[in-house]
Chain A
Amino acid sequence: MDQTTLQVYAVLFVFATVLLVYTARYFQRRGRQRPLRRMAAVERIGEWTNQSIEANRPLHLALGSTAVGEDRTAVALAEAEFFHHIIERADASDVSPIITTSAASSVPLGQDTVWRAWEGDAYLSRVQWYPPDIAYAAAVTAALKTDDPAAHVLAGGFGPELALMLDSADRRGQGSLAVSDRLEGQAVAYAMADECLIGEELFAAAGYATDDGRAQADAIVLDVWRALLIMGMTIVLMLEVAKRMPWLNWAVVLSVSAVLAVFGLIIYRRR
């Protein structure tokens, strides 16, 4: 693919996404809300916010190494949106959540998120920065010992150091939700967190933590793109396979598709 084609595709993709976002938002606002698929991990958050309120224990929200201004700015913004809705739900508690980060440029974002979502007094010290990676994990583990958080929502850039935080949460009986945009951290999150989101669920999570139509619309757009991507990949795969099978022709493909469609319809009706 030459550069021009690539650029044209990129521009088309951007415009298609804009179109999709606005269409989805329009429908969500109009009350014809499409229900989101279930995401069990986010459902636990309600339980934790309740604990936070009842016991006056803060929630710990961690951004990890996701920095504003770098190539992962979008990840940071998605997390901030997610945290915004969590903080709103924990609003009745007397202690505001604590946001920690290991990217200095994310400190203002964290501060902004607390100030916007939290109605009570929010102090500057509710956002804490520590130097990256393992030092961050160790410092957070130690510093939060006295705050005794009700639960940890660790969403952002984490490497294997995530294990230190999750292990300490586990030992102290605190709930944990983890997701990382780094592969090492994601594996640790899956193995050790009480609840774990995977990959792009991080971006959709905000839509689940609120009934705000806009956030939900974004989650739907993600779903649509992913479905299109899967379909595209499947078609390419099938074409590649078809090339290697001389007996395959359109008639066979059509008849198999027709049979599959009928079966699908029957199964769908049964349900």
Chain B
Amino acid sequence: MDEEFNWLEYSESIEAAAEESEVVSDRRGLRRFLPRRPSLPSLPRLARPRLPSLGLPSFRRSASAPDQPSATDLLGGQAERPLDDLDERLRALRDRSALASQPPPPAHQALYDVDEILTGPELQSKPGGVISAGALSRAQQQQVEMLRDIVGGPGETGGSGGRSLRSLSAFSLSAVPRLLGTALLLLAVALPFVSSDYAEGELPPSVFPEDRHSPRTMYDLLDNLTRDDYVLVAFEYGPTAAGELDLLADLLLRHIFAQRAKPVIVSSNPIAIARARNIIRGINRSQPIAEAQLLHGEDYFVLRYLPGGALGLRELNENFADIARFSAKGLPTGLNFASLEEMTEIVLIAESAEDVRNWVEQVVSADEALRLLVATGYAAQPLAQAYADSMDKVTGPLVGIRDAFTYGEKLQTTFGGLVPVEAPVEPEVELVDANVASESQAEFPPATVSPVAVVPATALPQPTATAPPTVTPPPTATPLPTDTPVPTATEATILVVEVTSERNVNIRLGPTTVHEIVGLGYKGDMFVVIGSNGDGSWYNILLPGGVEAWIAAFLVEERVVTATEFAGARDSASTGGPAERAVLQVDFGFRLGKTGPRFYQAQPPATGDRPALALSRDRSGEISRLQAMTLGTLAAVLLIVFGNTIYAVRGLLRWRDGRGR
């Protein structure tokens, strides 16, 4: 309370209220329960001694108000009904007040009447009284304490020194569990960032498991986008959920950008619009090539915010053509859509279940042709899952950081960080080791980094700029079996593998998917084989420039070709076909451990269109975050179980005591 409590004003106001209750007969509210003055004499006469006026502070005199009944008395007086009529709670209150009204020991009576005033029977032990000491508010109790302090009345531990001691112990008692719990949680969350020794639990899988077909479908739908497609991306989360949803939003946007589709961003939350802009700005910041910056109005569009919650979404559905015409800054976007149906997909990134519900009910349910891809946080998962399970047009949900991790891994394996530029490009592409320029140079000395051709064997001439430094020794490459059929011909033959997968194939530094991706193979590309791993699931191959790398066996087919054929393939490549593809590396991936991203970037072509994406981000902290989540959850479970066990035991003891009595 702000102002000091004034007993005089207090009692006067109560008295005024009592008087008013006499005059106004149809009072509303609680006053109507106040008895009229004539009923007062029936109350037991208050046995309160009159205070002598020997220099007592005025608040004390008014506090006692010897001639007038207090509001408490008035309220107490109205409850003259049989005890059995009272409900359980009131009876409990009454019992408590009876207990509390035990007369205080006379030894404490420093002033002869203070105790009676403060804890006297008229306050507490009125038979059947509704209001009692048990119902004194905290502020009132504080006033009582203050009064006790001033007049030296019987506090529980005596004078003011004792009081501060008591309050200290009360503070520590109530705060200790809270502080301990907080400390435990903070410790659990902080540990993984400090040391990797406390890593607990498994990392999310690098592909969505078979039984979670909905996120898989979601990925595939976005993967089918082409450069003519527009995707409505609904940003429905504020800064509070940034930690949980930023990564998902970022990856979904990168995926859309990588497919050259154009996101059209809307939101019913103005802050979320600013947030979306900042995320795209972040993507642009990770883009070292000035010409490849994503441009508003060309690569993406941010529309005005939709006020009115669900009504705003309804309007979006009905008047999309109007809404799409203007950007968040009120400028024309140049978008001419007749309806929402022209959006290839609608992606919703939502923080709360309510947003999911609104989008499903107001936007997609109203139109047969629309479908919704949902990404949410943990809080909205149950509802989003229910919608996805029961409605065909709702796909997802991707949930929180763990799914973001998997999504990122999947993007990495699909694109391998390389996005082909479709515009004609000079074949002389200079490869740049982006890490050399980055801060992490010290962590990844160029000696271990092999700026191998990111270029398939048949695709491009040898890189001219950087000489391949020493390569990390490939893990135990066993020699190929000798019975490999090698045709006996006059011309020298070479054992190669040809990429047969329709998708781009990752070329890695070692024979596992955990190893660094150093390049990408396209269908029809051929690589010289120099070995394989133990079970034959990976080929050890030679990249142009003499660099060794590994490629997964199920993506390629073993072939034996003559040197002429191999060279011919290369020649034909240089005149068309795969050679026309310059490559840009986009690093979508997470790196396990602390190795950080390592990527290569093609320099922009001298002529032609703006290059496509060159996106990369440092996500070395993601692993620690995931592990912090795991440990934090463990700590939370412990605390919840521990705390509730204590309360359960306490409750049981009380229950037993109650029965015993």
Tell me the A residues contacting B by CB distance below 8 Å. 43, 47, 49-51, 53-57, 67, 69-72, 88-92, 94, 119, 132-134, 146-148, 150, 157, 159-161, 171-173, 182-184
**Interface pair A54/B29, CB less than 8 Å apart:** no
Q: Is the interface of B mostly helix, strand, loop or mixed?
A: helix
Q: How far is the CA of A55 from the CA of B71 in the complex (A)?
A: 11
Contacts A134-B240, A160-B379 given: A54-B30 contact, CB under 8 Å? no
What chain B residues lie within 8 Å of A159 (beta carbons)? Answer: 352, 354, 379
Partner of B135, one of A50, A173, A183: A50
Query: Given that A56-B10, A183-B383, A184-B379 are known contacts, is A92 also in contact with B135, CB under 8 Å in the complex?
Result: no
- Contact flag A55-B137 (CB < 8 Å), given A70-B308, A70-B311: yes
B30 touches A92 (CB 8 A): yes
Contact B28 A47 (CB under 8 A): no
Interface residues of B (CB under 8 A from A): 1-2, 10, 13, 17, 28-31, 71-72, 75, 89, 130-131, 135-140, 174, 238, 240, 308-311, 352-354, 358, 379-380, 382-383
Q: How far is the CA of A134 from the CA of B352 in the complex (A)?
A: 13
- Rounded to whole Å, the gap between the CB of A209 and the closest CB of chain B is 11
Contacting pair B140 A49 (CB below 8 A): no
Determine how close the nearest CB of chain B comes to the CB of A163; give it in whole angstroms.
12
**Chain A neighbourhood of B383, CB < 8 A:** 183
- Distance in angstroms from B364 CB to nearest chain A CB is 16
- A residues in contact with B10, CB < 8 Å: 56
Question: Which of A53, A72, A173 contacts B138, CB < 8 Å?
Answer: A173
If A69-B308, A71-B310, A183-B383 touch, does A49 touch B30 (CB 8 Å cutoff)? yes
Q: Can you list 19 A-B pairs, Cβ within 8 angstroms, ordered by A?
A: A51-B137, A53-B71, A54-B135, A54-B136, A54-B140, A55-B140, A57-B139, A69-B311, A71-B358, A89-B29, A92-B31, A133-B238, A150-B137, A157-B354, A159-B352, A172-B138, A173-B138, A183-B383, A184-B380
- A71 and B311 within 8 A (CB): yes
Most buried by B among A47, A49, A88: A47
In the complex, chain B residues whose CB is within 8 Å of the CB of A53: 30, 71
Q: Provided the pairs A70-B311, A133-B238 are in contact, do residues A54 and B28 lie with their beta carbons within 8 angstroms? A: no
- Docked Cα-Cα span, A146 to B1, in Å, equals 6
Q: Is the CB of B353 within 8 A of A183?
A: yes
Chain B residues contacting A69 (CB-CB under 8 Å) are 308, 311
* Contact status of A51 and B2, CB under 8 A, knowing A91-B30, A159-B352, A184-B379: no
Q: Is the CB of A91 within 8 A of B140?
A: no
CB-based contact A55/B139 at 8 Å = yes
Q: Which 5 pairs from chain A and chain B are nearest by CB? A: A91-B29, A71-B310, A55-B137, A70-B309, A51-B137
Chain A residue nearest in CB terms to B93: A47
Query: Which residue of chain A is the closest to B5 with respect to CB atoms?
Result: A56
Smallest CB–CB gap between B413 and chain A, Å?
A: 35
Note all chain B residues with C-beta closer than 8 A to A90.
29-30
- Per the bound structure, the CA–CA distance linking A54 and B238 in Å amounts to 42
Question: Cβ of B75: which chain A residues have Cβ within 8 Å of it?
Answer: 50
Which listed residue (B131, B240, B353, B354) contacts A54, Cβ 8 A? Answer: B131
Q: Which of chain A's residues has its CB closest to B351's CB? A: A159
Closest CB in chain A relative to B495 CB, distance in Å: 60
